[in-house]
Structure 1
């Protein structure tokens, strides 16, 4: 329990004197009242700040703040590194583009003949196609590697897949024209509906049989001595021929292509 020290005794009231006049002592001036009190607290009752039950929380928070700061610093550093790499990559591609001026190869169908489709019978057909594709690489310093694995070649009539095959592997150097001859065969169990047979007979009578050729080829670009990652070239050609027997004549053709960089 705190002990309180009270101020000194109050001075004597008016008319009262302390001291002994006979001994020559005069009364002392009354002590002025103190302006403060002194409180004494036992040592075992001194409290810490914070109290013991909150000390662990203070320690946890004091550790947590630096960790958050470190995480923010690491995240900012990571963003700075990514931004720097992106800028350098962009500058590199820009320089390479200005130096090499790359352009996509041009594709066209030079030959297209059909056999194995009998429209006078209701039995399944086994179509065969001989297709000649021309690829022109107009780049002066860029070569193209075509891979067989992962490639595909398909021929469609009104959305029906009649035959399929793969593209042979080859390398096309700069300023080069490569002609690829493909022999494609379909399954012997392709059953045409009566409506499709009738439509084909009408096209034969008009000598305009429309087919669609789809080619998918994994390629790698060679720039100097450096090879890029594998990209996918997709080529679609609309080809119209005059008949279903070989040799046939191409009436019209139109090709378009696209690249999947990743």
Structure 2
């Protein structure tokens, strides 16, 4: 009886290439370049290395500058917030009121106005005015005093926008609930008005109402209880009218406006 032969028993096993599916190759005319991944991310091309370093340094500087600006803005915000809170507390505690200023008397010792001047004259005379002004300052506050500084102060008289004479505000301390009356002398030299202003001044002298402007700028320090502020500027603008140009002139009308510049000194 013949032996049976089973096909495939003695045949060699199939290889992996024969069992795995065949991958399609690249299309004709194309090339595949394989580069290690670490070289792509860690090593820029030589022509871009310098540019990469420049951009990296710029980015670090930008971050540092942003952090610095954030700190500065935060500090300024906290400072403004603190000052606002402190100002609110001071206002609630002391209830500050503006000081009232009044021009009580204006004595014109010298002016140089020629009452016989004619309207057709070509030139106006050169004047050297001298004014003595009495000012009344009333402090209505119950817990606030004011230190006036004479140094750096300016008191000036003008007519029709032309400065006539100037002087200084005396230095003194005005306590709470106090009324202080003082005099200041102002002198000017070489003043010449325009022809129209000069003739207008002559006409107003005849009517008995001559308007002048009185401007005061005084550096002061305000005292809240036992605390003194920094030096601020008080500006007072007054519209004053007198009946004549003489030593015995009387004030016909006066109105003063007060402004305080807390961040500006003279």
How much has 1:229 moved relative to structure 2? 1.4
* Corresponding residue for residue 103 of structure 1: 97
Task: Give SS of 1:48's match.
Answer: helix
The CA distance in 2 between the partners of 1:70 and 1:179, in whole Å, is 60
User: Which is worse superposed, 191-200 or 139-148?
Assistant: 191-200
Is 1:48 the equivalent of 2:49?
no
TM-score, L = length of structure 2 = 0.76
* Corresponding residue for residue 162 of structure 2: 160
Q: Deviations over 1:26-81 (max 9, x none)?
A: 332443425499xxxxxxx9672333635666666667656644544443343333
Summarize the Cα distance change of 1:198–1:78 in structure 2 as closer, same or farther, 3 Å threshold.
closer
The CA distance in 2 between the partners of 1:77 and 1:224, in whole Å, is 35
Is 1:116 the equivalent of 2:133?
no
* Corresponding residue for residue 250 of structure 1: 251
Matched pairs, number: 231
* Corresponding residue for residue 137 of structure 1: 139
The 8 Å contact of residues 162 and 193 in structure 2, kept in 1 or not, is answered as no
Matches within 5 A, 1:83-94: 83-94=77-88
* Corresponding residue for residue 195 of structure 1: 196
Unaligned residue ranges in structure 1 (runs of 5+) = 1-20, 38-44
Q: Deviations over 1:129-166 (max 9, x none)?
A: 11001111111111111112221111111112111111
Summarize the Cα distance change of 1:251–1:61 in structure 2 as closer, same or farther, 3 Å threshold.
closer
